[in-house]
Amino acid sequence: MEITLILEMVTASVIGAILYTIIGIAPGTDETAVLAPVTLALVLSGFEPIVILAFFISAIIAKKLTDSIPVAIAGIPGGVMSAPMVEHAMVLKKHGMPEVSIRKMASGSVIGTFIAVPMSLLLANLIIPLSDVITQYSNQIFLGGAIFLALMSKKRWVSLLSIIPFAFLIQGLRIAYWETGIVPEDVTVFTSFFLGITIGPVILKLTELLSGRVRRQLPRFGLKEIVLKKAKTEKGFPNPFKILDRKEIGTTSFSSVLGVLTFFMSPVGMTIFLGETLTSRIKDPVKKATRAISSMDGLTNAAYLSGTLIPLIAIGLPLSPTAIGPAGALFNAPPVFTPENNIHHMLSTSDFIIATVIGAIVAITITFYVTIKYAPQICAFVFRFIPHEAMLGLFFGLVIMLAFMDAGIVNVAGVLLIALVAGFLHRKGVNYGVQFMTLYAAPWLISLFLPGM
Amino acid sequence: MNKTQNRPEGGENNIEVWEDLVRIKDLVLSIAICTVITLGAYLLAPNEPPKPLIYGLIGAVVGFIISSIVVKPKRTLRFDEGGEE
């Protein structure tokens, strides 16, 4: 391999790590919304596939390391994935230990990465012989995932009931687009529907604000007071294995392994499910909280990495929620990547290992160091200068643009429709995991009822 | 993810959307700024991929920066110096 190519990969990884360290901290940033468009732009601009992979790996590790910082410091989730951790982080905050949260979470992330990278490469190689069978049954796997996650959630009957109607809404819109010729028959609108589900709860809330009666009834607040604790500065380079105690390392490693093995499941759903299950027997609230956040963070990181790497290396089709969401552009970004000719086909196994290792090392070195040392300062900057309104505006603007890009002005309405329904379902207790799995299973599920569609 | 219950007194103009406080007027303004600039940049870009997408993304960032300057965050920040432990 040429030196220039390696230098390019390192540079791309450094840029990815810095960019997504900042983005990760901003509250409410969804992984797909912030990673997919940028990766897509890089792919379409014609960078080397191996450079793009290094960038992506670095970006996703950095994002996952930092999106739990605002949770620890202010109880505001930095992304969808960190929402399940809020409850536990608030316990630590109440006990005056937000910097403990940050260190435990970041260390959990690092362990998750250490476990996920080699394990994903290994698992991918084991799966390669099975890839034909998996590809053949991917639809059943997605439907099974939706049903499983529905049964695991608190509102299981509502969740179960929502699967088929929601699939009909999604597929119905697609069929309408095909019939009217808004998009060609071989194009399946996906990205914007995905974002519609993600932004659903916010769109529902914003729509309700249009009603004066609702607006007057809403609770009003003054300014939100955030108390930042000055954390003690660590000397030297922090060691994640010293920050976590032995039990925490054990649980975190265990949940990371499970995160890799369940790479095809929705990471949010698995995080909620495993995080609660693994810690439900611990009595001491502080110990329970530290164990929960470190293992949840390890799990999300492992699930994201394996969800990207395993389908990419073994199958070449986006057969995991991560692959189909944030990493979508690595699989399908016409005209550069298509399902028949993407990173899976262009890179060799050693290319995958080199790109992943470079991305992971750069991200951990930069972001872990920065996270542990400067978390309060970065948070102070974000909280002081970045208004929540601008975040919501940015997100809204991106969704509208991507909706327009997918299928024109009609799709802007279509995405709003999906967002409203998704937001309503979310409020009734149908979690993101079930909704995303339904989105993936929709084409096949509906074809069972409407043969030929 | 429970809603926060504390209601500070005086000047209560903000509502909670997605775990943080916003003022409706500012929110409408930010959404308008971001959407118009993002979509505008996308539509004005030369029609050869990937230019519209890149213009749109740049537009989104510009919109975000402008909103951040125009709108003030609804948070107050206090540093807790000493450790309580």
Does A390 sit within 8 Å of B68, measured CB to CB? yes
Match 């049954």 to its residue by tokens.
Answer: A137
Interface check for A118 against chain B (CB to CB < 8 A): the answer is no
Does A96 sit within 8 Å of B84, measured CB to CB? yes
Most confidently modeled of A142-151, A274-283, A307-316? A307-316
Confidence of residue A201 (pLDDT cuts 50, 70, 90): confident
Question: For A225, phi and psi rounded to 5 degrees?
Answer: -90, 125
Interface test with A, best of B69, B76, B78, B81 (most A CBs within 10 A): B76
3-state helix, strand, coil in chain B (%, to 5): 50, 15, 35
Tokens matching residue A62:
């950095």
Confidence of residue B32 (pLDDT cuts 50, 70, 90): very high
> Cα separation of A423 and A196, whole Å?
9
Q: Strands B75-80, B20-23: parallel, antiparallel or unpaired by DSSP?
A: unpaired
pLDDT of A422 over the 80 cut: yes
Domain boundaries, chain B: 21-70
> Cα separation of A387 and A225, whole Å?
14
Please name the amino acid found at residue A259: G
Q: What is the pLDDT of residues A365-396, one digit of tens each?
A: 998 888 888 877 777 787 788 888 888 888 78
Does A396 sit within 8 Å of B20, measured CB to CB? no
Q: What is the pLDDT of residue A232?
A: 59
Rounded to a whole number of angstroms, the distance from the CA of B67 to the nearest CA of chain A is 5
Residues in chain B: 85
Interface check for A224 against chain B (CB to CB < 8 A): the answer is yes
**Poorest-pLDDT segment among A108-112, A227-231, B64-68:** A227-231
What is the arithmetic mean of pLDDT over A134-162?
86
Does B1 sit within 8 Å of A83, measured CB to CB? yes
Confidence of residue A428 (pLDDT cuts 50, 70, 90): very high
Helices (H) and strands (E) in chain B, counts: 2, 3
Within 10 A of A284 (CB to CB), how many other CB atoms are there? 9
Closest CA to B32 of A140, A316, A143, A392: A392
Rounded to a whole number of angstroms, the distance from the CA of B8 to the nearest CA of chain A is 6
Please list, residue by residue across A109-145, b when 16 or more beta carbons sit within 10 angstroms of its beta carbon and e when fewer do: bbbbbbbbbebbbebbeebeeebeebeeebbebbbeb
Stretch 311-350 of chain A: residues touching chain B, C-beta under 8 Å: 335
Rounded to a whole number of angstroms, the distance from the CA of B39 to the nearest CA of chain A is 6
Does B17 sit within 8 Å of A388, measured CB to CB? yes
Give A330's contacts (C-beta < 8 A, 6+ positions apart).
Answer: A39, A43, A52, A53, A56, A308, A312, A323, A337, A342, A343
Across chain A, what does the average pLDDT equal?
A: 84
User: Do residues A29 and A72 make contact, with C-beta atoms less than 8 angstroms apart?
Assistant: no
Does B9 sit within 8 Å of A396, measured CB to CB? no
Q: What is the pLDDT of residue B81?
A: 59
- Of residues A45 and A246, more confidence is placed in A246
Q: What is the DSSP string of A112-139?
A: HHHHHHHHHHHHHHHHGGGHHHHHHTHH
Confidence of residue A61 (pLDDT cuts 50, 70, 90): very high
Q: What is the pLDDT of residue B83?
A: 45
Please name the amino acid found at residue A130: L
Task: For residue A226, give the DSSP letter.
Answer: E
Q: What is the pLDDT of residues A65-112, one digit of tens each?
A: 888 777 777 666 666 667 777 778 878 777 767 777 888 888 998 999
Q: What is the pLDDT of residue A264?
A: 76
- Of residues A320 and A29, more confidence is placed in A320
**Poorest-pLDDT segment among A17-21, A24-28, A387-391, B65-69:** A24-28
Residue of A nearest to B26 (CA): A389
Most confidently modeled of A230-234, A426-430, A448-452? A426-430
Residue of B nearest to A402 (CA): B53
Q: What is the pLDDT of residues A299-342, one digit of tens each?
A: 988 999 999 999 999 988 877 878 877 888 898 877 788 777 88
Give the whole-number percent of chain A exceeding pLDDT 70. Answer: 93
Helix (H, G, I), strand (E, B) or coil at A282: coil
Q: What is the pLDDT of residue A231?
A: 57
Give the whole-number percent of chain A exceeding pLDDT 90. Answer: 26
Interface check for A215 against chain B (CB to CB < 8 A): the answer is yes
Domain boundaries, chain A: 3-213+231-449
Please name the amino acid found at residue B74: K
- Of residues A77 and A16, more confidence is placed in A16
Q: Exposed, middle or buried by CB within 10 Å (0-12, 13-18, 19+), for A378?
A: buried
What is the arithmetic mean of pLDDT over A351-374?
89
Helices (H) and strands (E) in chain A, counts: 22, 1
- Of residues A223 and B36, more confidence is placed in B36
Please name the amino acid found at residue A250: G
Please list, residue by residue across B37-65, b when 16 or more beta carbons sit within 10 angstroms of its beta carbon and e when fewer do: bbbbbbeebeeeebebbbbbbbbbeebbe
What is the arithmetic mean of pLDDT over A151-156?
84
User: Do residues A149 and A266 make contact, with C-beta atoms less than 8 angstroms apart?
Assistant: yes
Q: Any bridge partners for residue A224, and if so which?
A: B75
Interface check for A427 against chain B (CB to CB < 8 A): the answer is no
> Cα separation of A79 and A71, whole Å?
9
Residue of A nearest to B11 (CA): A222
The whole-model pTM stands at 0.75
Q: What is the pLDDT of residues A237-271, one digit of tens each?
A: 678 888 888 888 988 999 899 889 888 777 777 77
What is the arithmetic mean of pLDDT over B69-73?
91
Set of chain B residues whose Cβ sits within 8 Å of the Cβ of A386: 68, 73
ipTM of the complex: 0.84
Tokens matching residue A348:
């060799």
Residue of B nearest to A232 (CA): B83
